[in-house]
Amino acid sequence: MPALLVQPEGDTRSGEVRRTAMRLAPIRVLWGSALGKALLMRGILLLRKIFGILFVGLVLSTSFATPTAGAQPIPQGYAIANLRTGLCAREVPPGDLDGPVDQVVCNASRGEPGYYHQRWSFIQTGGSGFLIRNMATGLCLDLPYYGSVPAGTKVTGFTCATTSDNQTFTRVTRANGYWFVNWPSQLCLDVDGFGTGGVGAELTLWPCTDDDDHNWTTFPPIGEL
């Protein structure tokens, strides 16, 4: 039965206000009925379902968003290979604090022993500087104490600290590979011996030159730093 639009007795409201109230009267009647309550519950359930789907979609799109090209990680790290000797930089197992860093035959497969001792990540410290961190031990290439060190100082692995200036390196592109230059010393990552170091030769710092074993490459390619 349709609702009766009856003006309440003594209603002195203006015509427009009164007409608005009359238009709303059926809604008030429906709201209080059993049918109105049922429709309300169905509406609430429908909204919950819609918003639930939207929420799940938002979570999934956030969790599995495609990273930007510059943000894609290299989970296995980089090998750092010397172009003169053909050997790879390695933190000597088990990777003791202040332990030596040397060069060995490059392992190409993750199944080979010592694979991750030859893998490194590069951690930006601001500007063009970065730390070189070993994937197996979590230690960074380091020099004794702070500040500049003399040529021939041996490189070791030590706890990474972005405020430790003697762990900061920069990269200088050369015609053949590039140099890793220790920032405070302005000396290059070097293999002990003048281009003659073999397996087990330790890494040192030395004045940069293309005639020695200071030119390095990485695989996969390191890209921009």
pLDDT tens by residue, 158-201: 999 987 789 999 999 999 899 999 999 999 999 998 877 899 99
The answer to whether residues 105 and 41 belong to one domain is no
**pLDDT reported for residue 195:** 75
Q: Which secondary-structure segment (H or E) carries 24?
A: helix 15-32
The answer to whether residues 115 and 182 belong to one domain is yes
Tokens encoding 22: 């009359």
**pLDDT reported for residue 66:** 27
**pLDDT reported for residue 27:** 45
Task: State pTM to two decimals.
Answer: 0.65
Q: Please tell me the distance from the alpha carbon of residue 128 to that of residue 125, in angstroms, as a whole number.
A: 8
- Total domains present in the chain: 2
The answer to whether residues 156 and 206 belong to one domain is yes
Query: What is the span of the domain harbouring residue 87?
Result: 77-219
The answer to whether residues 87 and 148 belong to one domain is yes
Q: Which secondary-structure segment (H or E) carries 44?
A: helix 34-63
- Residue 106 is classified by DSSP as P
Based on its alpha-carbon atoms, the radius of gyration of the chain, rounded to whole angstroms, reads 35
Residue 178 lies in a domain: yes
Nearest residue to 127 via CA among 40, 225, 213? 225
How confident is the prediction for the chain on average, in pLDDT? 75
Tokens encoding 122: 């590069």
The answer to whether residues 92 and 54 belong to one domain is no
The answer to whether residues 56 and 81 belong to one domain is no
